[in-house]
């Protein structure tokens, strides 16, 4: 069934550059399908397709994270992930609703036709889900990473802590009793802390900037029609979920149109012995690593020549001198074409979800150096599947890096595992892009309640059947107590009868 052209509003107020690669891929696809797509973002498209329009550029309204985070920040200054999600990427982002341009859109000052759907991020600022209530239209959310403990709440998807490791743990799965206990406690504590941090602040923001009559943030979160998660069960872990939670991991890869510069392409083509690509993502600066760590890397990279190394360095003037001739640095590297190149042998990564998916898609084994949040779990996934190895950023030595490089470059099991997991990651009924657009149009055709699970109206302990199990245990306890009581009464009665009979017989004698 064909969906008529609809008017869709995409609101992506958190300035995470990698996150927006996922959002832009979906919004471009919907525009190409003929829908009118309006987007609020920090990262407007340079060459948008027809029907795609950036109606509010948020660039400059928040501190810029791109190439602006040091290793020192991660180890000393930047706080724990939950407070970051809830406050920096949550409550503070909700205040952008106060901007005049945002208010004009909310109040439809332009008198444009009304929107049919809102698509926004589920990460920290769930207050933007309230736009659905303000406009009286369905809301679809997108998680840019694996599920956080609260990601699936809007569609009633279970946390499944018995088998699915919490995003902030450095584990791929939970198997033993103690692992499941730690995972469950950790997940509930993280969710509780997030709720405590956001309950009052985000409810007040919605009532101040959207409508004074809007329900609380916890009630608003239950109005989600559909949630997309930028993950896939191969290799990131299987868990039960409701039909309203759809995995679209890799959606940004297939139709990526970034190009190599002629100079970089020539360098890669000439790397006939192969090359390694090394980056710590769009935010963290390699050049801020401790001197001893950088010098250890320089020595290790020089040893593997003629294999070459391509390093993403934002400011080469801040890098220690001494790089060997087989190392090339650049501030701007189109990552997907690099990982796609036939001469690449290894990807050294911080473990961000997008980079891992890209390397996995193109069968590239990895060395993971996790720095923050879900990156530890992501890298542990690589290790558990033999797709790569892990190094701790604060414990890197020349010896540890030598061993990691030697293992990946010379042991075929890593390349073979990458090829196997790549097949599993790609093997789906539909591509991630077609999957996402189908379900968006499904909601447009059938309404916001078409995928709604009854679980959204239950407390977590009701979904876990703790009340049912408690009742059963209580019933058995009462039953056992009654049986014991009755048996005692019968025994006592029999004993009394026996005693009385004995006394009668004595009197007769």
Q: What is the pLDDT of residue 76?
A: 44
Q: What is the mean pLDDT of residues 480-508?
A: 76
Asked if residue 508 belongs to a domain, the reply is no
Tokens standing for residue 469: 């199990």
204 and 344 housed in the same domain: no
Domain residues for 373? Answer: 262-426
Percent of the chain having pLDDT more than 90?
A: 67
Q: Is 111 exposed, middle or buried (0-12, 13-18, 19+ CB in 10 A)?
A: exposed
- Residue 495 clears pLDDT 80, i.e. is over it: no
248 and 267 housed in the same domain: no
Asked if residue 131 belongs to a domain, the reply is yes
CA dist 95 and 388 (Å) reads 41
Tokens standing for residue 162: 């018995």
Alpha helices (H) along 304-431:
335-340, 353-361, 375-384, 398-410, 412-426
Provide the mean pLDDT of the chain: 90
69 and 211 housed in the same domain: yes
Asked if residue 509 belongs to a domain, the reply is no
- Residue 68 clears pLDDT 70, i.e. is over it: no
Residues 230/186, Cβ–Cβ less than 8 Å: no
Asked if residue 191 belongs to a domain, the reply is yes
In the block, which residue shows the tokens 């891929």?
25
437 and 408 housed in the same domain: no
105 and 129 housed in the same domain: yes
207 and 108 housed in the same domain: yes
187 and 80 housed in the same domain: yes
- Residue 228 clears pLDDT 50, i.e. is over it: yes
149 and 189 housed in the same domain: yes
- Residue 168 clears pLDDT 90, i.e. is over it: no
Q: How far, CA to CA in Å, does 424 sit from each of 20, 245, 360, 420? A: 25, 20, 10, 7
Give the DSSP letter of residue 243: T
Band the pLDDT of 110: cuts 50, 70, 90.
Answer: low
Q: What is the pLDDT of residue 73?
A: 62
Tokens standing for residue 33: 């399908």
Q: What is the pLDDT of residue 2?
A: 46
470 and 444 housed in the same domain: no
Q: What is the pLDDT of residue 369?
A: 93
pLDDT, tens only, 365-410: 999 999 888 899 999 999 999 999 999 988 999 999 999 999 999 9
Q: Is 428 exposed, middle or buried (0-12, 13-18, 19+ CB in 10 A)?
A: middle
Q: What is the mean pLDDT of residues 187-208?
A: 94
Asked if residue 216 belongs to a domain, the reply is yes
Angle (CA) 494-495-500 rounded to 5° is 100
The 10 Å CB-count burial string (b at 16+, else e) for 137-175 is bbbbbbbbbbbbbbbbbbbbbbbbbeebbbbbbebbbbe
pLDDT, tens only, 203-223: 999 999 999 999 999 999 999
389 and 471 housed in the same domain: no
CATH code where residue 292 lies: 3.40.50.2000
**Count of residues in the chain:** 509
CA dist 106 and 115 (Å) reads 11
236 and 292 housed in the same domain: no
Among candidate residues 389, 395, 425, the one with its CA nearest the CA of residue 253 = 425
Asked if residue 414 belongs to a domain, the reply is yes
Asked if residue 313 belongs to a domain, the reply is yes
Residue 394 has a CB neighbour count (10 Å cut-off) of: 13
Helix (H) or strand (E) holding 247: strand 245-247
Q: Domain tally for the chain?
A: 3
Query: Pick the residue with more confidence: 285 or 429?
Result: 429
Asked if residue 507 belongs to a domain, the reply is no
229 and 279 housed in the same domain: no
């Amino acid at each position: 069934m064909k969906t008529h052209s609809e008017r869709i509003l995409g609101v992506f107020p958190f300035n995470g550059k990698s996150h927006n690669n996922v959002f832009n891929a979906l919004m471009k696809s919907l525009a190409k399908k003929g829908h009118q797509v309006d987007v609020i973002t920090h990262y407007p498209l340079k060459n948008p397709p027809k029907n795609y329009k950036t109606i509010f550029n948020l660039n400059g309204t928040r501190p810029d994270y791109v190439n602006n985070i040091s290793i020192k920040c991660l180890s000393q200054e930047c706080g724990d992930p939950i407070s970051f999600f809830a406050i920096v990427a949550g409550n503070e982002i909700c205040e952008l609703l106060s901007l005049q341009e945002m208010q004009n859109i909310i109040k439809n000052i332009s008198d444009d036709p009304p929107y049919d759907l809102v698509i926004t991020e589920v990460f920290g600022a769930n207050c933007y889900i309230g736009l659905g209530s303000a406009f009286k239209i369905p809301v679809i959310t997108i998680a840019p990473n694996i599920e956080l403990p609260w990601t699936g709440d809007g569609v009633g998807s279970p946390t499944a802590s018995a088998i699915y490791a919490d995003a902030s743990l450095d584990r791929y799965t939970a198997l033993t009793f103690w692992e499941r206990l730690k995972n469950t406690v950790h997940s509930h504590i993280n969710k509780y802390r997030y709720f405590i941090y956001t309950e009052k602040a985000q409810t007040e923001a919605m009532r101040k900037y959207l409508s004074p009559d809007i329900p609380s943030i916890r009630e608003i979160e239950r109005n989600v029609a559909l949630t997309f998660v930028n993950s896939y069960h191969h290799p990131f872990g299987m868990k039960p979920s409701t039909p309203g939670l759809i995995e679209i991991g890799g959606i940004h890869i297939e139709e990526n149109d970034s190009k190599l510069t002629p100079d970089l392409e020539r360098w890669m083509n000439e790397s006939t012995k192969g090359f390694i690509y090394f980056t710590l993502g769009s935010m963290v600066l390699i050049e801020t690593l401790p001197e001893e760590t950088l010098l250890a890397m320089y020595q290790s990279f020089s040893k593997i020549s003629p294999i070459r190394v391509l390093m993403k360095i934002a400011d080469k003037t801040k890098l220690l001198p001494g790089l060997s001739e087989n190392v090339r640095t650049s501030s701007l590297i189109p990552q997907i074409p690099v990982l796609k190149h036939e001469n690449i042998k290894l990807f050294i990564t911080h473990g961000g979800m997008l980079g891992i998916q890209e390397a996995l898609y193109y069968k590239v084994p990895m060395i993971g150096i996790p720095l923050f949040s879900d990156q530890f779990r992501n890298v542990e996934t690589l290790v558990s599947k033999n797709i790569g190895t892990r190094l701790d950023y604060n414990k890197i030595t020349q010896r540890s890096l030598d061993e990691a490089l030697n293992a990946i470059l010379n042991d075929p099991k890593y390349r073979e595992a990458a090829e196997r997991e790549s097949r599993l990651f790609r093997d789906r009924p539909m591509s991630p892009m077609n999957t996402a657009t189908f379900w968006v149009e499904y909601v447009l055709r059938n309404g916001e309640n078409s995928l709604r699970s009854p679980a959204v109206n239950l407390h977590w302990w009701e979904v876990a059947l703790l009340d049912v199990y408690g009742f059963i245990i209580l019933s058995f306890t009462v039953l056992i107590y009654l049986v014991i009581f009755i048996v005692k009464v019968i025994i006592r009665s029999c004993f009394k009868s026996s005693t009385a009979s004995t006394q009668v017989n004595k009197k007769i004698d």
